[in-house]
Amino acid sequence: MSAELDPMIKPTITPPVITIDGPSGSGKGTIAHRLALALGFHVLDSGALYRLLALAAQQHGIQTHNEAALEVLAAHLDVQFQNNHGEAMLILEGEDVTESIRTEEIGAAASKVAALARVRTALLQRQHAFREMPGLVADGRDMGTVVFPDACLKIFLTASADARAERRYKQLLEKGFDASLAAILDDIRARDLRDSQRAVAPLKPATDAIVLDSTALGIEAVLQTVIAAAKQRRSLHSFLA
């Protein structure tokens, strides 16, 4: 008997996903968070997973090119994503590392461990587990291309390297970190290159992504553009309030 005819068999609904990919400092995290709040969806900050792995590797004395050891560490990574009054709190092996994973040093190390195929495979299942009702907004580099290729809406957010470096500089100063604009620009360029030229899951827009350049757009303008795009997707209608 088919699911339609048998009342005991409940049809399964696949939670919808909106992906926001793009380079460092393009505003992915900010927009993903605001969009999820507006739609009542869950959020996946996939970059945080690679940052957590990079920090754990540093703490365990594992080098960023040791693929076999990093694969094991990724598979057993002891992390919790907690909700602290609407803000994500990240716990690694029992320690609050929400702020300490945000340094440029950890960002660069994350980009290195993320280039390893076995590491990416080891983190895939963890990312899929964030897909829950009523829906998910996922931000990263390969959300629309590899992790959630069936996403209802794919955004590729970008901005000039100068604008992104300026944003990151201000953000780090606000968080009380020491920062140099020139060093950040160099780091952003190096990370763009590594993330987009690697063999596995490189940073690139999915063929069906909407590419949005935010160099001259404020956060609110980007958010409203993405919300408007979400409202136009028929596949999202029944999930939006």
Ligand X SMILES: Nc1ncnc2c1ncn2[C@@H]1O[C@H](COP(=O)(O)OP(=O)(O)O)[C@@H](O)[C@H]1O
Least Å distance, CB 34 to ligand YYY, is 15
Q: Is 47 a binder of ligand YYY (CB under 6 A)?
A: yes
Instruction: Select the binding partner of residue 138 from ligand X, ligand YYY, none (C-beta < 5 to 8 A, by kind).
Output: none
Residue 191 near residue 111, CB atoms below 8 Å: yes
Indicate which single residue of 46, 64, 127, 214 sits in contact with ligand X (rule: CB under 6 A): 214
For residues 178 and 171, the answer to whether their CB atoms sit within 8 Å is: no
Which runs of E-coded beta strand occur in the chain?
17-21, 42-45, 79-84, 87-92, 95-96, 136-140, 153-158, 210-213
Residue with tokens 């380079």: 23
Residue 39: which H helix or E strand, with range? helix 28-39
Check the annotation: does 46 bind a ligand: no
111 binds ligand X (CB under 6 A): no
Q: Is 218 in the site for ligand X (CB under 6 A)?
A: yes
Residue 119, by phi and psi: left (phi above 0), alpha (psi -120 to 50) or beta?
alpha
Pick the piece of the chain touching ligand YYY (CB under 6 A) from 33-41, 91-99, 109-117, 220-228: 109-117
Q: Does 46 bind ligand YYY (CB under 6 A)?
A: yes
Inter-residue contact 26 to 161 (CB < 8 Å):
no
The answer to whether 191 contacts ligand X (rule: CB under 6 A) is: no
* Positive or negative torsion for Cα 139, 140, 141, 146: negative
Please give the residues from 19 up to 58 whose contact with ligand X meets the rule CB under 6 A: 22, 24-30
User: Closer CB to ligand X, residue 73 or residue 155?
Assistant: 155
Binding mask 10-29 for ligand YYY (x = CB under 6 A): --------------x----x
Residues that bind ligand YYY (CB under 6 A): 24, 29, 46-48, 50-51, 107, 110-111, 114, 140-142, 191, 195
